[in-house]
Structure 1
Amino acid sequence: MGVTAIMSSPKLLVYGLLVVVLSACATSPLGRQQFLLMPEDQMDEMGVAAYDQMKQEKPVSNNAQETRYVRCVANAITSVLDEKQTWEVNLFQDDSANAFALPGGKIGVNTGLLKVARTQDQLAAVLGHEVGHVLAHHSNERMSLQYATQSGMQLLSAVTGQDSALKQGLFAALGVGTQYGITLPFSRKHEAEADIIGLQLMAKAGFDPHQAINLWQNMSAANGQEPPEFMSTHPSNSTRISGLKARMSEVEPLYQQARASGRSPQCSTG
């Protein structure tokens, strides 16, 4: 190899790295710069694989009325998305007040959430928030930062393979880690972003955005004495409620427009 080739090799390496970094730059729905390495089709495949495994390992509720209710609310939320796709929605028999949405169009709601999200509007606040995580590619962002040295196919193989530390970590990055013994909460910036997107979605779907505040008041009452905010990556309930209140003037027109156009969800367990 000549001297010129040797000298140019580091330049080519730097150029290649620069191309990778620039191609990974993206912007969230709220305008925040993101670093996304994973192809979206592979994120979708991992979301579908994780969801299928959950259905095998976690009992799906046999309460037909509650299942119809949850799907009614979820379908109203997903119907206002710009990108149309069919979302699979299931109610899982689990006493914890939790829900999740995964890339690939998958939504799960635990039966325990229905004791805290007491109205269709409050449930819509939760599902809008969870879908907001997907729209903002938060799981892709987390995987890109933690598993940048591994290919998408390697990660997909880990999700569909035998249980391992990598697999548990990937489930946690997708947002369903609590089901598998690893907790990896979304960061405060991700939570705040999903809160705003969720408010917008529920308002566009014809759900009262003010009920998001009532939901978190219910959550606060159910959780009892929560730890100080600095000890958690999640915002405290009081901080979250303040953030939601600050956005109400922005989403109220969306709600009024939805109602005027005939969007008036009638979801119930009756």
Structure 2
Amino acid sequence: MKELVAAALAAAKERGRDVADVPLAGIAAAAGISRSTLLRRLGGSRAALDEAVRQAGVDPGGRPPVRERAIEAAAHLVAERGLAGITLDAVADRAGCSLPSLHTVFEGRDGLLAAVFGQYGPLPDLEALAADPPEDLEGAVRALYETFAASFAQEPRVVPAVFADLFSRPDGPAAAMMGANLPRTYDGLNRLLQPHVEAGRLRPLPVPVLVQLLLGPLITHILLRPVLEPAFGAGLPSVDRAIDHFVDCYLRAVALPGA
């Protein structure tokens, strides 16, 4: 049975699924046997295999996949405790899965945290925006501001916790979380901004500089709002109104005449 468990875990890892979600044909192929042979060795039912996987310390699944449960559990823990308070043991307990399951699916804490930021950070909405971008420059800039502002407000509040950790520990887990998602994030931003550079609407600055000029003021404003609101009260513009100002200032800074 050990070799069948190993084959089931390998097939699950390759597909990014729980063992319970992998067809018997896939497990049989990983074991180098036919599906009928696998069923015969299991006594006609996969229940024996699921139990053997469970005895090996891995949740075979059947509920929402371990990956989904773990990402959701970790996101709530990040919002509640900050990144410093996250352990795989705590995530496994909250998600109702085993510690070996987390190692199998994510290959450690860094992999899990990167998946959390990939799902609860700005990336999903950024990629959706890049797939169907506004045609005009002002519309693209405004949509980017709104996308990133929404990521700070999304519950559970993962993004504020990530930036809090990043500023306090530049070489900590937040940097690894963001770094793991940086290629996709950069690709989305590049797809939105580079066409306007090529069309002569934006100054031909490196995309990282264009992005820093774009997002730096917004991120600073949002992170400081808890301090600014008691001090300025009604004098502090809403986030939507602040975005109006940031859009205007950004275009004045980097848009070329006639854009």
TM range (shorter): under 0.3
What TM-score, normalized to structure 2?
0.28
Q: Which has the larger radius of gyration?
A: 2
Instruction: Return the structure number with greater helix share.
Output: 2
* Structure number with higher strand proportion: 1
